[in-house]
């Protein structure tokens, strides 16, 4: 009979189909057996059908057990094979059939549900189209996406997926980048913007100069990174697998011992059936795959189970200021103007006077238009700054009105930490801090100094402008705080983080202004990157589990020292994706509390699963020894516990 069945099912080479077919046949035998049993009282036929069912299901199980033995390891399949064969031998046919069929059914259901969880990422993989339209000599060529070379020009039509990473060469559009950043709001793209494979072009046609294709794209790196993270075993998982290594042989020993002691073969076989640590070994992996997969969909890349466990225990958070709490791009906030008589347009001599100083805010001016004093201030500052690469220069230049045509400076010299001196025709221009102007003997009125101090207390950086030895005004700049920073800090506190600290190399006054705006109580300003590192080490020594959040490049040492290093805005910066424990693909600050929350929930989920698994094992052992659980029920409860653990883990996909 065995050889006949093997011949029949040997044709079913596809293991998935074979398992399904065997499962259906053995299930049908059981159903038929019980139906006949209900209709008449044919014990012979009932037993035959049950034996058939057990043997059909055992074909697959015994095959795997034998392969395991050949490879010199005992596995669950071996335990089930011994139990079922033993069951048939001692005449408990229904129990033997139930054990094997339930075992196959459980395995099939587990593969299905695990497959669903694994598919979270497969959605991402399918975001990348297979082909790309390449423009070559004014002709369109359809190439496999992976074969597009760097520098090729790719046409992307509206509504289609972008096949490569690259830079927009012509055309404007909006692009749905949720696959990369998790950000649902489409991003505007114009010539010079970066685009990523796997994102969706919405309304415009664009041409993109390819940079990376195939497995070198950001999307491929994300997928690889997430998969490595999911496969990396968390400490709990390693511990459990070690436990399982002696648990199964332990149960076999217990089974033999109990037979020698009680001479009850069925009891011994039942012990074998419940000896599979199924729910326990799957408790951690299922939660971690779900948790990491779900986070990836939101643009949060967690490096692995170990980091997820650490992030779930965070009790203190240290934040970098520039570029993390703030946008990292200074903007003009105020102009300090010196009143003067209007003489013509623009470039007139300033009549210096001590009591005619006015401070106007840049946001007010945006509504009212620029007065001449401000235009003039920007004009002279602009000539000097246009050759500078200082970030403040960029901020000043970006605010230049289009109507203002800036001439090239004839002479230019930068003084690090002070400012810039420049010459244009017969004008000597100085742009810099108060110290710089004082060094050059430019008189600064008492009232003007007062205004500077006032602005400094608001956290502004000030730049003074002088022409031909006379002060003509000042510009206040600030790096705006991200709008969601306050909510983020509040969420961290709400989630039970005891300590939220800001670490910055910037001045105390600026740091204090940002702290006031975000609700952070603890400030460490004017510190060097090494001092940030020391600070985190001290926090760890005090027994805190510390998360450090920064931009991933300047803060790299502190990110590495912290228990969890979180890098912001990682899309496009490979370094951050590779090195940070958690990389946030977008600049969305709220993803910081979100990532800690996902970690915490995953950690909790793992614990729930372990508790479910251990309680089941204990209850089963107790039940077996008290004689209230036999083979069939033992297998049913065991498989049910595995399913409960898997379903519980899958809840994390819905966070």
Residues that are catalytic: 320
By the rule CB under 8 A, 214 interacts with other proteins: yes
Helix orientation angle between 278-297 and 235-262, rounded to the nearest 10 degrees: 160
Number of residues engaging other proteins in binding (CB under 8 A): 39
CA atoms in the 13 A half-sphere facing the CB of 537: 8
Least Å from the CB of residue 225 to other proteins: 12
Matching residue, tokens 């059939």:
97
By the rule CB under 8 A, 281 interacts with other proteins: yes
By the rule CB under 8 A, 146 interacts with other proteins: yes
By the rule CB under 8 A, 60 interacts with other proteins: yes
- Rounded CA-CA distance 614/279 in Å is 8
- Rounded CA-CA distance 44/10 in Å is 29
**Which of 58-66, 183-191, 339-347, 566-574 is the region at the interface with other proteins (rule: CB under 8 A)?**
58-66
Tokens at 435, concatenated: 């110290």
- Rounded CA-CA distance 80/86 in Å is 10
Tokens at 376, concatenated: 């003039």
By the rule CB under 8 A, 224 interacts with other proteins: yes
Looking at 288, 409, 606, 632, which residue binds other proteins (CB under 8 A)?
Answer: 288
Residues 77-116 contacting other proteins, CB under 8 A: 106-108, 110-111, 114-115
By the rule CB under 8 A, 574 interacts with other proteins: no
CA atoms in the 13 A half-sphere facing the CB of 37: 14
Least Å from the CB of residue 156 to other proteins: 21
By the rule CB under 8 A, 186 interacts with other proteins: no
Q: Smaller CB distance to other proteins: residue 108 or 259?
A: 108
Q: Smaller CB distance to other proteins: residue 478 or 612?
A: 612
| Residue 604 φ/ψ, nearest 5 degrees | -65, -40
Tokens at 131, concatenated: 């082909």
By the rule CB under 8 A, 241 interacts with other proteins: yes
| Residue 473 φ/ψ, nearest 5 degrees | 155, -175
**Which of 13-21, 267-275, 381-389, 593-601 is the region at the interface with other proteins (rule: CB under 8 A)?**
13-21
By the rule CB under 8 A, 317 interacts with other proteins: no
Q: Smaller CB distance to other proteins: residue 76 or 96?
A: 76
Q: Is 652 left (phi over 0), alpha (psi -120 to 50) or beta?
A: alpha
By the rule CB under 8 A, 11 interacts with other proteins: no
Question: SS3 breakdown of the chain: % helix, strand, coil, rounded to 5?
Answer: 55, 20, 30
By the rule CB under 8 A, 297 interacts with other proteins: no
Interaction pattern, residues 437-456, with other proteins; x per rule: CB under 8 A: --------------------
Least Å from the CB of residue 285 to other proteins: 5
Tokens at 653, concatenated: 């996909």
Looking at 16, 170, 363, 468, which residue binds other proteins (CB under 8 A)?
Answer: 16
Least Å from the CB of residue 404 to other proteins: 52
Q: Smaller CB distance to other proteins: residue 61 or 409?
A: 61
Q: Smaller CB distance to other proteins: residue 220 or 395?
A: 220
What secondary structure does DSSP assign to 404-440, as a single string? --PPPPSEEEEETTTEEEEEETTEEEEEE-HHHHHHT
Q: Which of 304, 120, 121 is nearest to 220 (CA)?
A: 121
Strands of 139-144's sheet, edge to edge? 139-144, 131-136, 153-156, 206-212, 165-170, 194-195
- Please give, one letter per residue, the 3-state secondary structure of 178-214: HHHHCCCCCEEECCCCEECCCCEECCCCEEEEEEECH
Q: Smaller CB distance to other proteins: residue 18 or 331?
A: 18
The answer to whether 220 and 163 are in contact (CB under 8 A) is no
By the rule CB under 8 A, 71 interacts with other proteins: yes
Q: Smaller CB distance to other proteins: residue 211 or 630?
A: 211
By the rule CB under 8 A, 301 interacts with other proteins: no
Looking at 30, 62, 121, 383, which residue binds other proteins (CB under 8 A)?
Answer: 121
Q: Which of 210, 233, 215, 229 is nearest to 282 (CA)?
A: 233
CA 52 to mean position of chain CA atoms: 51
Q: Smaller CB distance to other proteins: residue 182 or 278?
A: 278
Q: Are strands 470-478 and 331-338 parallel, antiparallel or unpaired?
A: antiparallel
Residue 164 DSSP class: S
By the rule CB under 8 A, 250 interacts with other proteins: no
Tokens at 233, concatenated: 């075993």
Least Å from the CB of residue 112 to other proteins: 9
Residues listed for the chain: 655
Least Å from the CB of residue 57 to other proteins: 14
Q: Smaller CB distance to other proteins: residue 147 or 453?
A: 147
Least Å from the CB of residue 248 to other proteins: 9
Looking at 33, 163, 182, 285, which residue binds other proteins (CB under 8 A)?
Answer: 285
Least Å from the CB of residue 14 to other proteins: 6
Cα–Cα distances in Å, from 591 out to 234, 394, 484? 23, 29, 11
Binding site for other proteins (CB under 8 A): 13-16, 60, 63-64, 67-68, 71, 73, 75-76, 106-108, 110-111, 114-115, 118, 121, 146, 214-215, 220, 223-224, 227, 230-231, 241, 244, 278, 281-282, 285, 288-289
């Amino acid at each position: 009979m065995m050889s006949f069945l093997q011949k029949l099912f040997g044709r079913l080479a596809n293991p998935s189909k074979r398992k399904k077919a065997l499962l259906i046949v053995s299930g049908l035998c059981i159903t038929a057996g019980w139906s006949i049993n209900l209709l008449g009282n044919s014990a012979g036929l009932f037993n035959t059908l049950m034996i058939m069912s057990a043997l059909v299901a055992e074909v697959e199980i015994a095959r795997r057990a034998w392969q395991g033995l050949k490879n010199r390891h005992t596995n669950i399949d071996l335990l089930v094979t011994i139990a079922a064969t033993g069951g048939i031998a001692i005449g408990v046919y229904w129990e033997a059939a139930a054990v094997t069929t339930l075992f196959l059914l459980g395995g099939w259901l587990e593969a299905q549900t695990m497959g669903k969880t694994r598919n979270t990422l497969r959605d991402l993989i399918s975001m990348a189209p297979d082909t790309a339209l390449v423009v070559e000599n004014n002709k369109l060529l359809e190439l496999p996406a992976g074969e597009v070379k760097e520098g090729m020009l790719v046409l992307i039509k509206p509504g289609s997926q972008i096949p490569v990473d690259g830079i927009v060469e012509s055309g404007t559009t909006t692009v749905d980048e949720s696959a990369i950043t998790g950000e649902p709001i489409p991003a505007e793209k114009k010539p010079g913007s970066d685009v990523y494979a796997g994102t969706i072009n919405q309304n415009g046609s664009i041409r993109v100069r390819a940079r990376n294709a195939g497995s070198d794209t950001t999307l491929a790196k994300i997928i690889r990174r997430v998969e490595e993270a999911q496969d990396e075993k968390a400490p709990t998982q390693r511990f459990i697998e070690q436990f399982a290594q002696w648990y199964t042989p332990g149960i076999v020993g217990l089974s033999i011992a109990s037979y020698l002691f009680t001479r009850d073969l069925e009891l011994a076989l039942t012990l074998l059936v419940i000896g599979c640590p199924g729910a326990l070994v799957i408790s951690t992996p299922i939660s971690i795959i779900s948790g990491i997969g779900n986070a990836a969909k939101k643009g949060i890349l967690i490096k692995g189970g170990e980091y997820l466990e650490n992030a779930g225990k965070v009790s203190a958070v240290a934040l970098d200021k520039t570029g993390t709490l703030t946008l990292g791009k200074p903007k003009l906030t105020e102009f300090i103007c010196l009143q003067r008589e209007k003489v013509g347009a623009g470039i007139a001599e300033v009549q210096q006077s001590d009591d005619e100083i006015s401070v106007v805010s840049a946001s007010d001016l945006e509504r009212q238009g620029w007065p001449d004093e401000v235009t003039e201030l920007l004009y002279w500052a602009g000539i000097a700054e246009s050759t500078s690469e200082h970030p403040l220069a960029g901020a000043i230049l970006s605010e230049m009105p289009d109507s203002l045509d800036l001439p090239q400076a004839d002479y230019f010299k930068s003084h690090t930490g002070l400012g810039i001196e420049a010459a244009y025709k017969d004008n000597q221009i100085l742009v810099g801090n108060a110290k710089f102007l004082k060094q050059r003997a430019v008189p600064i009125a008492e009232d003007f100094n007062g205004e500077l101090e006032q602005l400094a207390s608001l956290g502004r950086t000030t730049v003074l402008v002088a022409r031909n030895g006379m002060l003509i005004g000042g510009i206040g700049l600030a790096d705006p705080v991200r709008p969601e920073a306050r909510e983020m800090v509040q969420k961290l506190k709400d989630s039970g983080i005891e300590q939220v600290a800001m670490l910055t190399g910037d001045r105390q006054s600026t740091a204090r202004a940002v702290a006031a705006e975000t609700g952070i109580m603890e400030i460490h300003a004017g510190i060097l990157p090494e001092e940030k590192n020391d600070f985190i080490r001290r926090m760890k020594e005090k027994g805190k589990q510390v998360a450090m959040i920064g931009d991933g490049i300047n803060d790299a040492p502190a990110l590495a020292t912290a228990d969890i290093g979180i890098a912001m805005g990682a899309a496009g910066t490979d370094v951050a994706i590779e090195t940070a424990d958690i990389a946030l693909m977008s600049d969305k600050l709220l993803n910081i509390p979100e990532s800690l929350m996902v970690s915490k929930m995953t950690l909790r989920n793992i614990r729930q699963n372990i508790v479910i698994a251990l309680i089941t094992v204990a209850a089963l052992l107790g039940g077996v020894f008290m004689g209230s659980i036999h083979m069939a029920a033992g297998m049913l409860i065991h498989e049910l516990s595995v399913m409960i653990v898997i379903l519980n883990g899958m809840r994390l996909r819905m966070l």
